[in-house]
Chains A and B, each alone.
Chain A
């Protein structure tokens, strides 16, 4: 922003460190003093593009690129109307399409593409969805609501903590005062050595301080933000995704063996195959391995390809 320069009066940040650039809906920047000068009457035309502007629509420029400002403006305006939330759609796909529509509209407006039609589209949408727009405006989305709640809670906790600290401070102050008085009393009325008395009091004060710091330390284990862990779990479950597209149809796998057919696996024991292979150990069975599998694989390998003939 350092090299920003007002296009009208050519003042730079260097010449005037308090220079403030302002933008309006058209995206052309002016410095504050030029705005004051040009829009004395409250409205006027932009010196760059001659678009009629109002003075109170000028804002301080936040981004270096004025077109970004323009886009932010437009986006704000469009999103005021296009305020549907994800919950309003049956499928994620529809929601994504909707978002893409919005982006196209914004893009068109920013880059001056087909402005007439785009504006018409917005008007149409406004007319068709007036009720919904109003409803959405009133209703904060779930996320926003939760966030607000969280902030509230935090604020409250912060307040409570501050009060606590205040009370504690007052108490310690009182205590100190009391101790001081006690010491003076002691010095005035006791017959003991003044030096001894001062020493014992100092020792006492030190001890109490130590215990206090210990107590304070144990307090620190609390969460500083005060967010409860269980909170997230209580909030509603994720929505069940609705299926899109045609349903999956199961097709049985067909294998080409190029060889004689294998006896079915269920018959292995009956035919006596299992007598000729090592039976699985207990650990192997726990892993889902059975001797049938090994036997089957060996037999499959033995039979597959027996008919194989490479064609010329």
Chain B
């Protein structure tokens, strides 16, 4: 049940402002950590701004959606929903510059497959990825634990898909609407776009589901208002009705915003900028990363402790990627 889930307890936020503030915090924290020598006035010449970070996240959310759509064998909707939740949660407290979204994205999908019991093997999963498969599998496995840790191991996700089924059953039973199955395509379309917004971090899955159903109904020029006010909420829920109406309205407006197009050229520039300022310690192509993995692999305490102490000394100058490698 949603009300006593970790999702309700730890991953529901009050407003978009709160979310944006948290993301800004992650951004400033990252810049403070790695850009201490950079002048404040110029820091955004090098680092991404919070807005730019959000744009990158958005871009990779679209990628995530397309990846899941093309996935073979066809993926269940709840897997997609869960992957979206993971991805969004991850970048609330982490900067895009620290962990590249393209890596986190595939890891989210991989983890979601496991959690939602959509059984694909690693090799099956990798056939859906272009490029170097071996490297991809390394990236996924290396990031999986990190991702779970960043999610505080709150892996159970309540998606709005089952509530939609429940509502449709209820409408069929308690409402006189003619052929409620007509609502289905509109609802699904709405939910797909809702995943791209922050609505799933702000509202309960049942609220999102209700908004989807109501949206689909209004598209078909049907009116479900009396069903909601009289049948669903009845007498006992009268006092709560106003808040629900407000919630539905804001979910619908947020979803409407999801259709806005992003400038492709700007994205390309951002991609380049990110490539320059991303944290080399978490970049699998960098020397530093390889060394760290090597040390961990052989469990060589000496090398490992040396690297981690180097890591501490360097944290404010890591931007400068030509740093001399540790003498290990």
Whether A302 touches B209, Cβ cut-off 8 Å, given contacts A258-B3, A260-B232, A307-B240, is yes
Task: Say which size band chain A's interface belongs to.
Answer: 20 to 34
The reply to whether A256 and B4 contact each other, CB–CB distance below 8 Å, is yes
Tell me, in angstroms, the Cα distance from A307 to B169 when the chains sit together.
Answer: 20
CA distance A308 to B251 in the complex (A): 14
Tally B residues with Cβ within 8 Å of A: 38
Stretch from B124-132, B170-178, B303-311 contacting the other chain: B170-178
Given the known inter-chain contacts A310-B13, A312-B14, please indicate yes or no for A304 contacting B169, CB distance below 8 A.
no
| B234 CB, nearest partner CB in chain A, Å | 7
Bitwise, B100-117 to A at CB < 8 A (1) or not (0) is 000000000000000000
A301 & B13 in contact (Cβ 8 Å cutoff): no
Chain B 236-251 per-residue mask, 1 if CB under 8 angstroms from chain A, else 0? 1100100110010000
Interface check B50, CB cutoff 8 A: no
Whether B3 and A304, one on each chain, are in contact in the complex, defined by CB atoms closer than 8 angstroms, is yes
Report the stretch among A80-88, A151-159, A272-280 that lies at the interface: A272-280
Alpha-carbon distance A255/B2, docked complex (angstroms) = 11
CA distance in complex: A311, B12 (Å): 10
**Most chain B C-beta atoms within 10 Å of own C-beta, residue among A271, A272, A299:** A299
CB–CB B3/A260 < 8 A: no
Shortest CB-to-CB span from B7 to chain A, Å, is 10
Residue of B nearest to A255 (CB): B1
**Are B158 and A301 in contact, with the CB atoms below 8 A?**
yes
- Please judge, given known A-B contacts A305-B8, A306-B206, whether A300 and B169 are in contact too, CB under 8 Å: no
Q: Are A306 and B244 in contact (CB under 8 A)?
A: yes
- Flag whether B165 is at the interface (Cβ < 8 A): yes
Among B174, B205, B236, point to the contact of A305 (Cβ < 8 A): B205
> In the complex, are the beta carbons of A307 and B236 less than 8 A apart?
no
Contacts A260-B232, A273-B169; is A306 near B1 (CB within 8 Å)? no
A260-B237, A301-B205 known; A310 vs B3 contact (CB < 8 Å): no
Determine if B82 is an interface residue (Cβ-Cβ < 8 Å): no
Whether A261 pairs with B162 at a CB distance below 8 angstroms is no
Q: Let me know if B203 is at the binding interface, CB within 8 A.
A: yes
Nearest chain B residue, comparing its CB with the CB of A294: B165
> Is A78 in the interface zone, CB < 8 Å from B?
no
Whether the Cβ atoms of A260 and B234 lie closer than 8 Å is yes
Partner of B204, one of A275, A295, A306: A306
Alpha-carbon separation in the docked complex, A255 to B4 (Å): 9
Chain A residues, CB < 8 A from B203:
308
- Inter-chain contacts of A300 with B (CB < 8 A): 1, 166
Is A142 in contact with chain B by the CB < 8 A criterion?
no
- Give the distance in Å from the alpha carbon of A300 to the alpha carbon of B203 in the complex: 17
Within 8 A of A (CB), among B55-104: none
Q: Is the CB of B163 within 8 A of A301?
A: yes
Which A270-295 residues sit within 8 Å CB-CB of chain B? 271-273, 275-277, 295
Complexed CA–CA distance, A305 and B243 (Å) = 12
| A residues in contact with B209, CB < 8 Å | 302
Residue of B nearest to A261 (CB): B236
Contacts of A259 on B, CB cut-off 8 Å? 3, 206
Q: Which residues of A contact B166 (CB under 8 A)?
A: 297-303
**Bound state CA distance, A110 and B10, in angstroms?**
58
B14, A304: Cβ atoms under 8 Å?
no
Apart from A277-B169, A298-B166, list 14 A-B contacts with CB within 8 A: A255-B4, A256-B3, A256-B4, A272-B173, A275-B173, A298-B169, A301-B1, A302-B163, A302-B165, A302-B170, A306-B244, A307-B237, A308-B2, A308-B3
Q: List 6 A-B contacts (CB under 8 A).
A: A258-B204, A298-B165, A301-B205, A302-B167, A303-B166, A306-B232
4 smallest CB-CB distances across A and B, nearest first, come from A302-B166, A305-B204, A298-B166, A308-B204
Q: Which residues of A does B touch, CB under 8 Å?
A: 255-261, 271-273, 275-277, 295, 297-312
